[in-house]
């Protein structure tokens, strides 16, 4: 396996710190509920929350993913719901990447219907060329071209999530 590094660990750390500062400023004086989308978001989320200076809680959701393919089926299915109600809370959804946008628009709609005080989204990576539904995340780490990426939480066939950088698999 050869991997071409697209975004280095240092670049990621720098950008995550900036995002943390921005989010801390935007939520000044409020408590935050950070919701990570399993499994891809766990690495980004664990780094991001340590750069946020407002009080926060975490929770997780899981939705059906691509399985072994690199293309979405277009059908999103809820596999694990939150442990707690979110009514009246300031909620930030954290996701590894937005691609077609189907996952985030589904989750946003679902959580909005539970009446949070505010609802925003943060993604490490954005592939805007691939969008199949209109959705713009509130916080974006990096905008990347239409390439399938791995590492820093992102997998191919359940593997490579542990890589400290974001890269592209080369054969
Ligand atoms: P969307 O619903 O098409 O926006 O897809 C979002 C989900 O697809 C993410 O949570 C990832 O799990 C997965 N995904 C999309 N693009 C990539 C990629 O380049 N590498 C790894 N996973 C990806
Ligand atoms: Mg995912």
What pLDDT is stored for residue 115 in this prediction? 98
* pTM assigned to the model: 0.95
The domain of 43 spans 8-146
CB 152, CB 138: distance < 8 Å: no
For the residues of 13-50, what is the DSSP string, one character each? HHHHHHHHHHHHHHTTTS-EEEEEEETTTHHHHHHHHT
CATH number for the domain harbouring residue 89: 3.40.50.2020
Does 46 reside within a domain? yes
Is 2 contained in some domain?
Answer: no
Question: How many residues are recorded in the chain?
Answer: 171
Is 163 contained in some domain? Answer: no
Q: What is the DSSP string of 93-138?
A: EEEEEESSSHHHHHHHHHHHTT--SEEEEEEEEE-GGG-SS----S
- Which atom of ligand 1 approaches the CA of 106 most closely? 2
- Confirm or reject: Cβ of 72 under 6 Å from ligand 1: yes
Residue 107's pLDDT is what? 96
101 pocket-lining for ligand 1 (C-beta < 6 Å): yes
Instruction: Tell me, yes or no, if 26 is annotated catalytic.
Output: no
Q: Is the dihedral of CA 69, 47, 78, 117 positive or negative?
A: negative
Q: Is residue 167 part of a domain?
A: no
Q: Which atom of ligand 1 is nearest to the CA of 101?
A: 4
Ligand nearest to the CA of 124: 1
pLDDT at 76: 81
Number of compact structural domains in the chain: 1
Which one of the listed residues 47, 99, 126, 155 is annotated catalytic? Answer: 99
| Top mutation candidate among 43, 96, 101, 145 for ligand 1, by most atoms within 8 Å of CB | 96
User: How far apart are the C-alpha atoms of 94 and 87, rounded to whole Å?
Assistant: 18
Nearest CA to ligand 1 atom 16: 99
Q: Whose CA is nearest to atom 3 of ligand 1?
A: 100
Residue 18 lies in a domain: yes
Does 153 reside within a domain? no
Burial class, 29, CB count within 10 angstroms (exposed 0-12 / middle 13-18 / buried 19+): exposed
Asked if residue 43 has its Cβ within 6 Å of ligand 1, the reply is no
> What's the pLDDT at 26?
98
Q: Is residue 90 part of a domain?
A: yes
Dihedral class, residue 27 (left if φ above 0, else alpha if ψ from -120 to 50, else beta): alpha
Q: How many CB atoms lie within 10 A of CB 37?
A: 24
pLDDT at 75: 73
Largest CA distance in the chain: 50
Atom of ligand 1 nearest to the CA of 103: 2
* Residue pLDDT tens, the chain, 171 long: 799 999 999 999 999 999 999 999 999 999 999 999 999 999 999 999 999 999 999 999 999 865 555 666 667 889 999 999 999 999 999 999 999 999 999 999 999 999 999 999 999 999 999 999 999 999 999 999 999 999 999 999 999 999 999 999 997
Enumerate the β-bridge partners of residue 61. 37
């Amino acid at each position: 396996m050869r991997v071409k590094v697209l975004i280095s660990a240092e670049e990621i750390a720098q950008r995550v710190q900036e995002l943390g500062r921005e989010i801390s400023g935007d939520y000044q004086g409020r408590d935050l509920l950070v919701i990570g989308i399993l499994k891809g978001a766990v690495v980004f989320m664990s780094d991001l929350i340590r750069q946020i200076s407002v009080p926060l809680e975490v929770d997780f959701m899981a939705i059906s993913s691509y399985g072994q393919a690199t293309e979405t089926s277009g059908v999103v299915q809820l596999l694990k719901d939150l442990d707690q109600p979110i009514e009246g809370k300031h909620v930030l959804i954290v996701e590894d990447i937005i691609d077609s946008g189907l996952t985030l628009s589904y989750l946003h709609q679902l959580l909005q219907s539970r009446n949070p005080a505010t609802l925003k989204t943060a993604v490490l990576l954005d592939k805007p060329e691939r969008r199949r539904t209109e959705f713009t995340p509130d916080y974006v780490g990096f905008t990347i071209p239409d390439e399938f990426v791995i590492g820093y939480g992102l997998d191919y066939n359940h593997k490579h999530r542990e890589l400290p950088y974001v890269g592209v698999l080369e054969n």
